[in-house]
Structure formats: structure tokens, C-alpha cells
Amino acid sequence: MYKTIVVGYTSDGYYGPIQAGTYNDLETAIRFPELKEHVDIIAVYVYDCQGKLVYPRK
């Protein structure tokens, strides 16, 4: 399981981290975050089930 966090701007002016879903495979977690509203995405971070950053790789 992978948890996706995106950082970006929402239409109401919020800027910051937004939880974007939990996924079974890494490619889906990176490419297709589920967002409930329009977000201008600045960065995508994906963590594994143990909370370790897996994307982007260090």
C-alpha cells in the first residue's frame, strides 16, 4: 500500500499538502492522485505503509 500526498494550490487559495489517496501500486500512486477539487500540483510525494518516502527517491 502507498499513500500519496500532493503539494499545491487549490482554487480557494490554499497552498500546502493535500492527502490524495491510498493505492496498491506505486505507478498509480504517482500518476493518478485522487483529488476532490482542482489543484495546481507543485510536487507529489508517495510513502509506503511504514511511512518511508518512496517517491521521489533520494
Domain-wise residue ranges, the chain: 2-55
pLDDT at site 1: 95
Top-confidence residue, 18 or 37? 18
With residue 31 as reference, give the H or E element that holds it.
Answer: helix 26-31
User: pTM of this prediction?
Assistant: 0.84
The share of the chain scoring above pLDDT 70, in percent, equals: 98
With residue 15 as reference, give the H or E element that holds it.
Answer: strand 15-23
Query: What mean pLDDT, rounded, does the chain reach?
Result: 92
DSSP state, 34? -
Across residues 19-25, what is the average pLDDT? Answer: 93
Across residues 28-34, what is the average pLDDT? Answer: 86
Q: CB neighbours of 25 closer than 8 A, spacing ≥ 6? A: 2
